[in-house]
Amino acid sequence: MTIQTAIDALATLLGDGLTRSKSDLDLHGRSESHFLDCPPDAVAYPVDTAQVAAIVQNCADHACPLIAWGTGTSLEGHSLAVNGGVVVDLSRMNRLLAVNAADMDCVVEPGLTRVALNTALRHTGLFFPVDPGADASLGGMASTRASGTTAVRYGTMRDNVMALEVVLADGRIIRTGSRARKSSAGYDLTGLFVGAEGTLGIITELTLRLRGQPMAVAAAICAFPDVESAVAAVTATIQMGVAVARIELLDTASVAAVNAHSGMSFAVQPHLLLEFHGSDAGVEEDAATFGEIAADHGGTGFARATQTEDRNRLWKMRHDAYYAILASKPGHRAIVTDVCVPVSRLAEAVAETQDDIAASSITGPILGHVGDGNFHAILLIDPASAADRTAAEGLSHRMALRALRLGGTCTGEHGVGMGKLGYMAQEHGTAWDVMGSLKAALDPAGIMNPGKVVRG
């Protein structure tokens, strides 16, 4: 009963900051996706780094697994307590510690969410650009190397985390990096912990790069005869150096779902949705350039949205597309896939996936961050139907293998968690063994989020 011993000690240490109530265990034993529930043995709510370090030290003494928790919005079962143990819920560490406007950076606790951060930043003229859709915690976004619609312009969490404070598996506290914009002073530990999914340590503080709110923003939408034409327009646009801040694809099935759900009347064809950030003249020119490129590729119904209200409606429609797709089959749940390929192979990847879905019993509209070659099929299943689940899992499996065959990755932005563990050996070969060696070096007892990312 080493876990029990650890939890007894934690109860003394944390008082009210530790709970074993069934509701709390159930809440922290669920994921937003299709994995089976897996409740932890206790949930700890630390309020500062010292408490996190004390929790980790205590658990290390008793070989008790530790799972860091942000908002629970990850999609690959990252935070499920597959070996039991303690979930460390960081929601009480949610302060914005500093905004350094002159340096365009800020320092936050891991439980702060991205929407809360941007709300707090509104008066500064700065913003944090990474937008994965969900209002995730910034610690969780760093841990899964999240990205989303704006990565084509502003990069992923890899590009926007400058430094971290991390509690290691033995309770030591380290700082990776400084507020300097660049450094070549040794190994990039910040980069190592971003995307490590809590398997190497628990992030307790983040220094984040901020951006100036653009002087002007414009959005546009355009229909295309097929996915190939839309992707060709994307490639041409990026190669021209047009400063797209977002460039999103909705396939025909997604557009149909959006029309039905939001009372829109878009042509039932693949669409690109774009946003441009820059100066007044710059966004005008960029939108006009895209308009010409779109026309060259058979684009029709090109429309601009410069008013904030029109723009917001467009992006609300995009962000709601997931719910529109869910609503298209009442009572169904979604298995959300996530692959990324070189943009030159994107049209092929989407077409093969569409054919595979069409040949199955499953509905699966496709949408994606096509500037990066990243797309998702939203596979709808009747939760009571084993046949549906099997069919969807087969489609998802073939998508991952297809992405690898086309020179891509089995997960563009959702992470490995439990869902993509089975593809790591194939994607990385010997490099996956190297990841295992790094894990063993930093967490020899394997207590940090066991069962994720590396070989078990």
Task: Report the residue number, 81 or 142, with the smaller CB distance to a copy of itself.
Answer: 142
Of 64-72, 87-95, 240-248, 314-322, which part binds a copy of itself (CB under 8 A)? 240-248
Nearer to a copy of itself, 145 or 271 (CB): 145
Q: CA neighbours within 13 Å on the CB side: how many for 289?
A: 18
Q: How many residues does the chain have?
A: 456
The least distance separating a copy of itself from the CB of residue 83, rounded to whole angstroms, comes to: 19
Least distance to a copy of itself from the beta carbon of 120, Å?
18
263 binds a copy of itself (CB under 8 A): no
Bridge partners (DSSP) listed for residue 164: 176, 206
205 lies in the binding site for a copy of itself (CB under 8 A):
no
d(CA 291, CA 268): 20
Q: Which two tokens stand for residue 169?
A: 């598996």
Question: How far is the first Cα of the chain from the last one, in angstroms, to the nearest whole number?
Answer: 21
Nearer to a copy of itself, 387 or 434 (CB): 434
The residues in 388-417 that bind a copy of itself, with binding defined as CB under 8 A, are: 403, 407-416
Residues 237, 47: Cα–Cα separation, whole Å:
47
CA atoms within 13 A on the CB side of 217: 14
- Cβ-contact 212, 125 below 8 angstroms: yes
* 430 counts as binding a copy of itself under rule CB under 8 A: yes
Beta strands per DSSP E along 64-210: 66-69, 86-89, 96-100, 105-108, 126-127, 161-168, 173-176, 201-209
Which among 23-31, 60-68, 148-156, 308-316 is the span making contact with a copy of itself, rule CB under 8 A?
Answer: 148-156
Judged by CB under 8 A, the residue of 18, 168, 244, 249 near a copy of itself is: 168
Question: Which secondary structure element, helix H or strand E, spans residue 223, and what is its range?
Answer: strand 216-223
Smallest distance, a copy of itself to C-beta of residue 291, A: 14
Region of 12-20, 177-185, 298-306, 353-361 interacting with a copy of itself (CB under 8 A) = 177-185
Min dist CB 386 to a copy of itself, Å, is 29
Distance CA 430, CA 451 (A): 19
Give the one residue of 182, 263, 330, 386 binding a copy of itself; rule: CB under 8 A. 182
Kindly state whether residue 99 participates in binding a copy of itself, applying the rule CB under 8 A.
no
Least distance (Å) from a copy of itself to the CB of residue 24? 28
- Tell me if 434 contacts a copy of itself by CB under 8 A: yes
Residue in this structure with the two tokens 């915690």, named with its chain if needed? 137
d(CA 40, CA 37): 10
2, 4, 178, 300: residue in contact with a copy of itself (rule CB under 8 A) = 178
| 137 near a copy of itself (CB under 8 A) | no
Strand (E) or helix (H) holding 155: none
CA distance 112 to 159: 19
- Per CB under 8 A, does 97 bind a copy of itself? no
Applying CB under 8 A, does 49 fall inside the site for a copy of itself? no
Q: Which stretch binds a copy of itself (CB under 8 A): 219-227, 237-245, 292-300, 306-314?
A: 237-245
Cα angle vertex 53, ends 210, 115, to 5°? 30
